Amino acid sequence: GTGSSILSALQDLFRLSKSKVEKQLQIISVLQWVLTFLVMGIACTLILIYTLCTDFWVIAALYLAWLVFDWNTPRRGGRRSPWVRNWAIWRYFRDYFPIRLVKTHNLLTTRNYIFGYHPHGIMGLGAFCNFSTEATGVSQKFPGIRPYLATLAGNFRMPILRDYLMSGGICPVNRDSIDYILSKNGSGNAIIIVVGGAAESLNCTPGKNSVTLKNRKGFVKLALRHGADLVPVYSFGENEVYKQVIFEEGSWGRWVQKKFQKHIGFAPCIFHGRGFFSSNTWGLLPYSKPITTVVGEPITIPKIDNPSQKEVDFYHSMYVDSLIKLFDKYKSKFGLPETQVLEV
């Protein structure tokens, strides 16, 4: 009767309130990562400098001493924290979009791997969620495999930020770091390299599936030198979460972006997502569009200490073909028309 109706109404209200709370937690979890990506390094550096000028200068001095002692840790595999990788905040991060990780083949723990991640997008959100956290179950899907997401080495010169990144299993994308992981860290390691890098981010826009890969062969040479298998990875939806102003080749805007890319390592993009309070306003939050990351079949790579250009070109061609086949096989399953072509 009346009692049952009241109880039912209260249950509906509770479910509605819980849903709203979860949505806000998802938004907060994504916002903290966006701010980390954009300003945490600079902010922590300024705070450290300011602290040196206050009565708490001892704290800053102790941290700087630790920084000198710990300076080479990022180049030696870092310092991952299973506790940080399993934070509940990453599950809210995952559910905001949502983000999914799709496994297509098993990976042997007796081998090492280089994952080529495509496309870069604005912030590589799928790469971070899938491989630097346990939100999508990477350790369960690939048991015995330790993923290392490689990013700009300059990030590891920033106080506090460097420690935060290392806790997720993120490492510098430079030769010293990759050589160490693939030669002195045993087997079962997987280094995820966003191959297109900053150059690719300049062209990412919703509805476009294009990768900067034709002249990117350094990762193939690294794989050959260490005998690490190459694994193509494509993230459907990575380009959909932000809208960007694309500058044409030869324009002043593209000239500025390329100068930044050449001298600093990243390219400033003019982009926007949605606002914090409404999806109908502009802001820094990405749009909540699905991102599905598909890990393809590994390509067996021989160990060649000094590979020739011909050998590098051969395995690079194999990799490109494998990536295109992966894209074509799964594109219709994840919302793209059969006529969609991956631009390489």
pLDDT in tens, 247-306: 777 787 778 877 777 766 667 777 889 888 887 888 989 999 999 999 999 999 999 999
**Residue 255: predicted pLDDT:** 80
**Residue 202: predicted pLDDT:** 82
User: How far is residue 178's CA from residue 201's CA, in Å, rounded to a whole number?
Assistant: 23
pLDDT in tens, 131-180: 999 999 999 999 999 999 999 888 999 999 999 999 999 999 999 999 99
**Residue 47: predicted pLDDT:** 94
In percent, how much of the chain has pLDDT > 90?
A: 72
Burial class (CB in 10 A: 0-12, 13-18, 19+), 334: middle
Nearest in space to 73 (alpha carbons), one of 162, 183, 152, 146: 162
**Residue 17: predicted pLDDT:** 66
Task: Identify any residues that bridge with 294 across adjacent strands, giving them in sequence order.
Answer: 102, 234
| Mean pLDDT to the nearest integer, 185-204 | 90
Q: How confident is the model at residue 81 (pLDDT cuts 50, 70, 90)?
A: very high
Nearest in space to 235 (alpha carbons), one of 209, 216, 273: 209
SS3 string, the chain, reads CHHHHHHHHHHHHHHHHHHHHHHHHHHHHHHHHHHHHHHHHHHHHHHHHHHHCCCCHHHHHHHHHHHHHCCCHHHHCCCCCHHHHCCHHHHHHHHHCCEEEEECCCCCCCCCEEEEEECCCCCCHHHHHHHCCCCCCHHHHCCCCEEEEEECHHHHHCCCHHHHHHHCCEEECCHHHHHHHHHHCCCCEEEEEECCHHHHHCCCCCCCCECCCCCCCHHHHHHHHHCCEEEEEEEECHHHCCEECCCCCCCHHHHHHHHHHHHCCCCCCCEEEECCCCCCCEECECCCCCEEEEECCCECCCCCCCCCHHHHHHHHHHHHHHHHHHHHHHCCCCCCCCCCCCEC
Whether the per-residue pLDDT at 12 is higher than 60: the answer is no
pLDDT in tens, 82-133: 999 999 999 999 999 999 999 999 999 999 999 999 999 989 999 999 999 9
**Residue 127: predicted pLDDT:** 96
CA angle 20, 22, 24 (to 5 degrees): 70
pLDDT in tens, 197-240: 878 888 888 888 999 999 999 999 999 999 999 999 999 999 99
User: How far is residue 122's CA from residue 245's CA, in Å, rounded to a whole number?
Assistant: 12
**Residue 19: predicted pLDDT:** 78
Give CA torsion, residues 92, 208, 105, 131, to 10 deg.
Answer: -40
User: How far is residue 100's CA from residue 163's CA, in Å, rounded to a whole number?
Assistant: 26
Nearby residues of 275 by Cβ (< 8 Å), 6 or more positions away:
281, 282, 283, 285
In percent, how much of the chain has pLDDT > 70?
A: 94
User: How far is residue 43's CA from residue 34's CA, in Å, rounded to a whole number?
Assistant: 14
Question: Which tokens hold the place of 220?
Answer: 């193939």
Q: Is the preceding peptide bond at 268 cis, omega within 30 degrees of 0? A: no
How many other C-beta atoms lie within 10 A of the C-beta of residue 235? 26
| Mean pLDDT to the nearest integer, 11-34 | 81
